[in-house]
Structure 1
């Protein structure tokens, strides 16, 4: 194995995997006296499963795409509680918010102070991340994203101080996730792996995690969509999501996620759905620049030998994903704004194996329209 460059891997200190693993949170955090649980209105119903022993407060006013006012409200709640344990109980948006709350509630730093890489001063609360979807892999990573509603973009914070002390992958928490959400978030998990795998900054160690994640998606995503209570398939997808989260740290995503972000911030599509719609188009665009790895992806997903764009599009559509932007409320006159916004996300676009100009991006949006 030729190790091309130095990388640093930050992983949760403890990982609990398997059906019923959520009940170990209370045992692990039994010394916590003041606990703040961040959740969505739906996942707040899982709090009792955590078996917590301390005084528990729940903040569940979290939308699908948390923004700066949401972060401010969560920090206000945390400063009243003064938690010695913060728990993110939900999907990626909830867990991203939990990272920032744990790192900032007892700090003078503002969001502007911590935005970017390695600017968080330190974390004074322990952090547990309990995933309830299989998509973002946020429980594994050191990044958090918050939407700026004024600028219409996402602010990224990256720091080893955002890594979880405990991460929990309990497939039973995903049984109630609807099939359409299961499909979209599963494709998002796959996109993390694929974009890191075909990345300009790809690394053999991360390639290993990416291959495992892509293989798990190929084996289990369709099963999880067909039968939400298929424990083996749900656990396989949670592992795929976790591996994708690991890929984000040293390598990160590329053009696929850059094109998906304006669909979240401007069109207000859920993150997983936005990535699912974009995935086939960027995979096909990058094929000529990452021929061998793209062939591996196609084989792992069981794609046919025909046109890659059509095969990848059919893979997503057959899972029940509505792949047309127009069906999600997009209008033709919005597409140039989407293209210009995504082109400016250089932290991701510069990772892409093939240069993508504004016109290339606009062509992809039009094809997805």
Structure 2
């Protein structure tokens, strides 16, 4: 684990408005900046309620963001941006909408394509405003500099990281999450927790980020079951929004590890929602890593209200029960993932070195294959 004396860079949106009712400040912010041609990037559900943003002027809406967006989906959004010529881009939705909004804000007119900017800090700049407004509590994309888009040819995620994709304003209004159904609340909540836990146990873990990571896990342990049971529980929704934001803070300087690498093929190959994929895989990778980070594993289990032994079997049982009790589907077969594809998935997951190289314990392709088999 990284020591306290190691340098670290923290990047945050220039302004974060957090709390119930903060969406109401968007109109004034847009007016103060002199923006007159906003482009809202949203999924179909949020595109249908874009009036909640209270925007004036010539508002363009790209309302076709898909779960696990791919390059053709991004191309459609870029085509609309080229036509609308916005002066501010607003991501309105879950992580998929906010990830596409980042790229729509930096690529048009830049002379760069998606393939040109894959990797760290290859984006040349940004000339328009960028505002992020999450409507789920999961990805924390509003607070970070990364965007993930699936390559339909290789079925792999293309990861772009750039300080130019950091929002000028992030509005985290938990009231927007009140309509999220229980199943999505559960899966996205575990995704937020996975961001925190994987950063907490990473080889790159840093005491500065541990602060956010452990508190994010504690917030999920305290509030997720409440929000699943009662979506109108405002305090629980606020707690999860904060956990998600903290998870986003973890992604920049530390990032995720094996849990996300093993989960990615479920989304890219079989269209399993990202949060659900991460929730299903979470107990397996937590248990796998337990021998390498027993003390931190104990703190994670304690954060989830699961005090007790940190041996792999006990860690797996506790984390599995936590997710299953939320109503999360924990079997790959029930999600339509065929066991005949496990080998290809394991090969693809093992190739995601940007994540696996930071895992606290080396994970082989056979280890990944064994996880898929156990989760079948």
* Counterpart secondary structure, 1:109: coil
Contact residue 298 and residue 308 of structure 2 kept, 8 A: no
- Cα separation, 1, equivalents of 2:245 and 2:57: 28
Instruction: Report the counterpart of residue 156 of structure 1 in structure 2.
Output: 159
Q: Quote the RMSD (CA, aligned, Å).
A: 1.0
Q: Map 1:1-369; keep pairs closer than 5 Å.
A: 2-30=3-31, 31-305=34-308, 307-369=314-376
Ranges in structure 2 where 5+ consecutive residues have no aligned partner: none
Residues 308-353 of structure 1 show CA distances to partners (whole Å, capped at 9, x for unaligned) of: 1111101000000010000000111111111111000000000100
- Cα separation, 2, equivalents of 1:356 and 1:121: 35
Shift of 1:209: 0.7
Shift of 1:55: 1.2
- Cα separation, 2, equivalents of 1:293 and 1:216: 16
Residues 263-302 of structure 1 show CA distances to partners (whole Å, capped at 9, x for unaligned) of: 0000110000000000000000000000110000000101
Residues 36-78 of structure 1 show CA distances to partners (whole Å, capped at 9, x for unaligned) of: 0001110113311211122101101111111111111101100
Shift of 1:106: 2.3
Contact residue 106 and residue 124 of structure 1 kept, 8 A: no
- Cα separation, 2, equivalents of 1:119 and 1:62: 24
Q: TM-score, normalised by structure 2?
A: 0.97
Which stretch shows the higher mean deviation, 305-314 or 64-73? 305-314
Ranges in structure 1 where 5+ consecutive residues have no aligned partner: none
Shift of 1:8: 0.9
Q: TM-score, normalised by structure 1?
A: 0.98
Number of residue pairs aligned between Structure 1 and Structure 2: 369
* Counterpart secondary structure, 2:133: strand
- Cα separation, 1, equivalents of 2:358 and 2:113: 28
Contact residue 118 and residue 159 of structure 1 kept, 8 A: yes
Contact residue 68 and residue 96 of structure 2 kept, 8 A: yes
Contact residue 27 and residue 51 of structure 1 kept, 8 A: no
**Any runs of at least 4 consecutive aligned residues in structure 1 with deviations exceeding 6 A, and if so which?**
none
- Cα separation, 2, equivalents of 1:106 and 1:46: 29
Contact residue 192 and residue 248 of structure 1 kept, 8 A: yes
* Counterpart secondary structure, 2:246: helix
